[in-house]
A = this chain, B = another copy of it.
Amino acid sequence: MSRVTVSSALERAVALFADREAVVDGTTRWSYDELDRRVRSFDGSLDGFGLGKGDVVAVLAHNNAAHLVAWLGTPRSGRVLNAVNTRLSFAELQFILDDSEAKMLLVDDAFLESGRRLLAACESLEHLVHTGPGPTPDDCESFEALTTAGVGARPVEVGGDDVAGVFYTGGTTGRPKGALLSHANLMANAKHALICLGYTHRDRYLHAGPMFHLADGASTVALTWVGGTHVITPGFTPGSWVETVAAERVTRAMLVPTMITMLLGAGVPDELDISSLESVLYGASPMPQAVLAKANELLGCDWCQVYGMTEAAPIVTFMTHEDHRLGLRGDDALASSRLRSAGRPAVGVDVQIRDSDDNVVPSGQVGEIVIRGENVMLGYLHRLDETTQALPGDGWYRSGDMGYVDEGGYVFVVDRLKDMIITGGENVYSTEVENALYRHGDVQEVAVVGVPDEQWGEAVHAVVHPRPGSTVTAEDLRNHARELIAGYKVPRVVHIAAEPLPKSGAGKILKRNLREELSSE
């Protein structure tokens, strides 16, 4: 029996669409033939650096073509991709590279200095590769050289359950954990993406959201498989986004709701023709209907939504163009209300709602969202307990998200067991922020919750009860946190509470009460 490999996607693309545009990244334009040559050369170069099957290649860079080469080239001969969140603090980055035992790190100009510090700090890290766009410093390997050396890799048996990538996600214990995704997982997701999203070789997809994130990565292999074009911008600003859509005749894009809100604020200049845009995929959280309606007016395209998670590689549920059209029309109350849902399970992904005794609950009843499919991860790296908890062995992944399913099979995510906040498309685990704040000597009690926020979806708020006699200020605590965790995790607001925090009979802080109180302010 044959084992699926991530390489199949590019192999098909180069066989069928050798001359078509594969990559647009600033002034870089590669055909599939060129992308394939670069990927093979990168793969061969990893052999040259002594990286074998299972060795980890990390990427720390703004969006660029190197991300795509790393996505496709690293797993090719069994190496493991570890694209890391560029917004993490140095301590977090170091933790992740140590945890994954990364041997090579790819950085762009912006992260060169961080890369040097990481090379010095991380024991396993041996090679620092500079992806440009500036000239390669003497103390770095040149990505350009690696991808043009033209030496193929030694043949090696790869695929199926072999690990293709380790993707870090915030941990409930306050430490990020690495979800291990296999070749089979990524290829299953790519098939699911193609069934949901229907990409073809005519599509030009804009990578504006971070390529290290699976919300964008959800489409990467799928688009390659059908021979579509990857249009890459370093990051997202409303201005550059609409300009790129117009200039590159972009047909598809992924945005998180925060970006959509920013686009609404900035508008689309009259002189720009963005009529090529057929469909925008959004994820991370549902969008308020009013925002969706305004965005629909502004961009004049179709909409689809994906709910997912790193552990599911990531697609779980999907809301179709038709769902959006019907919901936005406004004359079908049920369809409109379903815009607040996460859509319905994607073909290939089984979803159930279970109670705390692991029984499937009837529709309408809230329980934990559990997930089954070839897309579900192998487990967490070095985290046997958390793996066993998430994957107890019956084939169903316990997502930790709470939700219900309506009578039409639409999934509504109502809360997160994991106590996670989604702000600007990024996942923030309360525990992680609480741990950072607890490390300040003046903090007696702290609870971190997400508060609805028009721009960010949710904003991180902390409620702190200081030790007796302390004069600590909100600003002191924010500065303290900024040293330890990524900027987007630092509470936007720290409330100083004179009284101890409200607790349950069992002594557990009643976060739900705090959240409701802060949300109604």
Seen from chain A, the residues whose Cβ lies within 8 Å of a Cβ on chain B are 1-4, 8, 11-12, 15-17, 161, 191-192, 194-195, 198, 225-226, 344-345, 347-348, 350, 372-374, 376, 378, 395-396, 405, 408-409
The answer to whether A2 and B395 have CB atoms under 8 Å apart is: yes
Shortest Cβ distance from residue A108 to the other chain B in the assembled complex, whole angstroms: 32
Bound CA–CA A192/B195 (angstroms): 9
**25 chain-A/chain-B pairs, Cβ below 8 angstroms:** A1-B161, A1-B376, A1-B378, A1-B395, A2-B372, A2-B373, A2-B374, A2-B376, A2-B395, A2-B396, A4-B373, A4-B374, A11-B350, A12-B347, A15-B345, A16-B344, A16-B345, A16-B408, A17-B409, A191-B191, A191-B192, A194-B347, A198-B198, A225-B347, A226-B347
For A3, the chain B residues whose CB sits under 8 A away are 395
Shortest Cβ distance from residue A190 to the other chain B in the assembled complex, whole angstroms: 8
Shortest Cβ distance from residue A288 to the other chain B in the assembled complex, whole angstroms: 25
Closest to A188 in B: B191
Closest to A182 in B: B1
For A344, the chain B residues whose CB sits under 8 A away are 16
Shortest Cβ distance from residue A278 to the other chain B in the assembled complex, whole angstroms: 15
Bound CA–CA A82/B194 (angstroms): 31
Which listed residue (B2, B195, B408) contacts A195, Cβ 8 A?
B195
For A376, the chain B residues whose CB sits under 8 A away are 1-2
Copies of this chain present in the complex amount to 2
The answer to whether B12 and A350 have CB atoms under 8 Å apart is: yes
Bound CA–CA A374/B3 (angstroms): 7
Bound CA–CA A132/B427 (angstroms): 58
Closest to A395 in B: B2
Closest to A394 in B: B2
The answer to whether B15 and A409 have CB atoms under 8 Å apart is: yes
For A395, the chain B residues whose CB sits under 8 A away are 1-3
Given contacts A8-B350, A12-B347, 14 further A-B contacts (CB under 8 A): A1-B378, A2-B372, A2-B374, A2-B376, A2-B395, A3-B395, A4-B373, A15-B345, A15-B409, A16-B408, A17-B409, A191-B195, A191-B347, A194-B347
The 3 closest A-B pairs by CB, nearest first: A16-B409, A2-B395, A194-B195
Closest to A192 in B: B191
For A11, the chain B residues whose CB sits under 8 A away are 350
Shortest Cβ distance from residue A460 to the other chain B in the assembled complex, whole angstroms: 34
